[in-house]
Amino acid sequence: MLGHAGYGPESDGISDPLDRLMPAHDLNLQVYVKHYTRTKEISICAGAMQETLYKRPFLEPELAFAHFLRHQRLTMKPNFELGVHYTPDSKSTTIRLVDLTSARVQFVRITWTDLANVVRFRVVPLAYFQKMVESSRPGVTMGIACLGILNCRMADGFSAVGEVFLSLDLTSIRFCPYAPKQVIVMGFLQHKHPVSGPNGELAFQPALCARSALKRVVQRARTEYAAEFLVGFESEFNLLESTSPIVPASVHEYSASNALRAGQKCTIVMDEIAHAIIASGIELQLYHAEAAPGQFEVVTGPMPPLEAADALVLTREIIYNIAAKHGLHATFAPRIFESIGTAAHAHISVHSTRKEEKKVSEQLSRTEELFLAGLMGHLPSVCALTLPTTASYRRVGDGFWSGGTYVCWGTENRECPVRLTNAKSTSSRRFEMRFIDGTANPYLALAGILGAGAAGLRDKKGLDVKDCSGETPAAQMSEEERAAHGISLRMSRTWEEGRANFDASQEMGLVFGDEFKAAFLSVGKLVKERLEEGINEDARKRLLVELY
């Protein structure tokens, strides 16, 4: 075999040792080897391979590494899996506290996302931030009314009396590329003073904190059900020249080259957005033009759920700010034109920490199946979190790739609210949640989805809904066909229906608590009232695109 031919650096006088191993047409492997053996780690690894595979050293680590790759190609079974491999223990790309000074950071944006999905922050100088960190409880205080206020109006149930504390999460620091020498840091909203627990112990309890709710769901899934998750997001948005009237910055086809021609304003903006996302430490996988006027999409890589939600908040801030810098307005509003709408699809992979549970090709693991069963059972009540505005329901429906109105799932089926993609791959198989838009608070959306899935892990009930992988969408099936597929529930189809399902859900009560549920519903009502203040449809759309 070629991998054992014993090629040495002086065997035939060819100038490049890689050419002895690989023919000229194998350019991809040559580029791969030449690039990756430049690093110290791979060079050391290649040196070890030399002794292991060939019992004598080669002068060039590139050649040894290439021999290894060729050996792998010739001796391993073909691998037809798609996608990049990620694991739940992938390393964080946030900034360490000790690196702020050397990075010449001057200001810190202490940031939180409220129940209306409005991102808010306070800016403090680095010198004061460092003093804050050295205190016994780093963070900032604010009136509790700040959690339920919009356009200087307060939601029912909130009061001007009382304060909450935003406890800094120092593991969440990232650069703000749109704000030179500034970083962003998230936190957990807590009661300002310790609260007595069920056993009489004092502790700082969460106070209407969406971020804490997500963290709690993730921890429970790991400790009680041996499940972990990775989450990646597709961020769709529209770039507008004006919000009154609403004028798109471009008109183009899906992924068409004319949407990103050299010198066009949208091209300049998208290029800068891409560089900024990468500079923030978030993995950018791709970006492209979408189908609606002025519509584009960026796709960011998978992370653990809490970190993924943080990254989505920052990604949106990057998009908003860079668009504004160039005189454009970015909006994540669900549907502002008569063409397709704008979504915030989440891709979730489910992993078991039990060593005995291994994923296999073309078959869901036990953990994946139970998670999906729980999600199918609670999807109607989750809609209030993922489709929280009246505008949300102008995007979703049957027949235009928005996920449909029937609770179902399907392999590569975009007419299902949950699409299974890369089903044959054990490493990149995941569920795409198609029932989310940009008006949803990402922490609440993920907490609801993962909480519903965790209920399936707890209850261990079988998956009754069958794979809708055929050509007929659920909406076009007969009643008998839907029954044969186990499809018995409808998604929430109106804002009122979604809220009623959420309010009646005992499972959502377990995930969030009754106080949180009441506060969320109250703030949602305030948002609806704000968005309906416009005197006509155009005025209401303007309010929507300026808020989201």
Of 157, 185, 214, the position where a domain reaches its end is 214
Partner residues linked to 239 by β-bridges: 330
Residue 173 CB neighbours (<10 A)? 21
Residue 496 CB neighbours (<10 A)? 13
- Cα 369–371–375 angle (5° rounding)? 115
Distance CA 345, CA 342 (A): 10
Mapping DSSP onto H, E and C, the string for 310-337 reads HHHHHHHHHHHHHHHHCCCEEECCCCCC
Long-range contacts of 4-7 (CB under 8 A, 24+ apart): 4/71, 6/54, 7/63, 7/67
Distance CA 431, CA 350 (A): 8
Confidence at residue 71, expressed as pLDDT on a 0 to 100 scale? 58
Q: Residue 494 is inside which H or E element, if any?
A: none
224 and 207 share one domain: no
277 and 403 share one domain: yes
301 in a domain, yes or no? Answer: yes
Kindly state the tokens that stand for 412.
């590569």
Question: Residue written as tokens 């959420």?
Answer: 502
Kindly state the tokens that stand for 450.
């993962």
Instruction: Note whether 545 and 329 are within 8 A (CB).
Output: yes
471 and 392 share one domain: yes
90 in a domain, yes or no? Answer: no
297 and 381 share one domain: yes
Q: Which residues contact 152 (CB under 8 A, 6 or more apart)?
A: none
* pTM of the model as a whole: 0.84
272 in a domain, yes or no? Answer: yes
84 in a domain, yes or no? Answer: no
209 and 357 share one domain: no
364 and 485 share one domain: yes
Partner residues linked to 411 by β-bridges: 420
65 and 188 share one domain: no
Confidence at residue 84, expressed as pLDDT on a 0 to 100 scale? 73
CATH code, domain with 172: 3.10.20.70
Distance CA 332, CA 343 (A): 8
Kindly state the tokens that stand for 137.
């409880």
How far are the Cα atoms of 47, 56, 249, 272 from residue 40, in angstroms, in the given order?
Answer: 11, 20, 46, 31
CA 361 to chain centre: 25
Strands 187-191 and 153-154: unpaired
Kindly state the tokens that stand for 387.
């489709």
449 and 523 share one domain: yes
Question: Residue written as tokens 């948005």?
Answer: 237
Assign 446 to helix, strand or coil. Answer: helix
Residue 204 CB neighbours (<10 A)? 15
Kindly state the tokens that stand for 171.
């593991």
Confidence at residue 362, expressed as pLDDT on a 0 to 100 scale? 81
Of 29, 44, 75, the position where a domain reaches its end is 75
What single letter denotes the amino acid at residue 359?
Answer: K
Distance CA 276, CA 390 (A): 32
CATH code, domain with 497: 3.30.590.10
Backbone phi, psi, residue 270, to 5°:
-65, -40
Number of domains forming the structure of the chain: 3
Q: For CA atoms 217, 222, 227, 228, give the dihedral sign.
A: positive
How far are the Cα atoms of 289, 332, 368 from residue 211, in angstroms, in the given order?
Answer: 31, 21, 24
User: H-type helices in 299-418, by residue range?
Assistant: 305-325, 366-386
Assign 9 to helix, strand or coil. Answer: coil
Helix axes 514-531, 495-504, angle to 10 degrees: 170
Strands 409-411 and 418-421: parallel
81 in a domain, yes or no? Answer: no
415 and 270 share one domain: yes
Question: Residue written as tokens 């549920």?
Answer: 517
Confidence at residue 96, expressed as pLDDT on a 0 to 100 scale? 85
Instruction: Note whether 415 and 473 are within 8 A (CB).
Output: yes
Residue (of 123, 112, 218) closest to 165 by Cα position:
112
Side-chain-facing half-sphere of 329: CA atoms under 13 Å: 18
Distance CA 471, CA 45 (A): 49
Instruction: Note whether 382 and 472 are within 8 A (CB).
Output: no
Of 26, 43, 75, the position where a domain reaches its end is 75
Residue (of 406, 525, 528, 424) closest to 468 by Cα position:
406
- Give residue 68's domain range: 2-75
* DSSP class of 467: B
173 and 129 share one domain: yes
- pLDDT per residue, tens digit, the chain (548 aa), is 333 333 233 334 434 444 444 444 444 444 444 444 444 444 444 444 444 444 444 445 566 666 655 655 555 555 556 667 777 876 667 888 888 988 999 999 999 999 999 999 999 999 999 999 999 999 999 998 889 999 889 999 998 898 999 999 999 999 999 999 999 999 999 998 888 877 778 778 888 999 999 999 999 999 999 999 999 999 999 999 999 999 999 999 999 999 999 999 999 999 999 999 999 999 999 999 999 999 999 999 999 999 999 999 999 999 999 999 999 999 999 999 988 999 999 999 999 999 888 898 889 999 999 999 999 999 999 999 999 999 999 999 888 888 899 999 999 999 999 999 999 998 889 999 999 999 999 999 999 999 999 999 999 999 999 999 988 999 999 999 999 999 999 999 999 999 999 999 999 999 999 999 999 999 999 999 999 987 899 999 999 999 99
Residue (of 235, 241, 438, 261) closest to 326 by Cα position:
241
Confidence at residue 389, expressed as pLDDT on a 0 to 100 scale? 96
Kindly state the tokens that stand for 359.
């994923």
Write out the E strands in 15-129: 107-113, 119-125
220 and 190 share one domain: no
391 in a domain, yes or no? Answer: yes
Q: Which residues contact 37 (CB under 8 A, 6 or more apart)?
A: 43, 46, 61, 62, 65
133 and 164 share one domain: yes
89 in a domain, yes or no? Answer: no
Instruction: Note whether 406 and 490 are within 8 A (CB).
Output: yes
395 in a domain, yes or no? Answer: yes
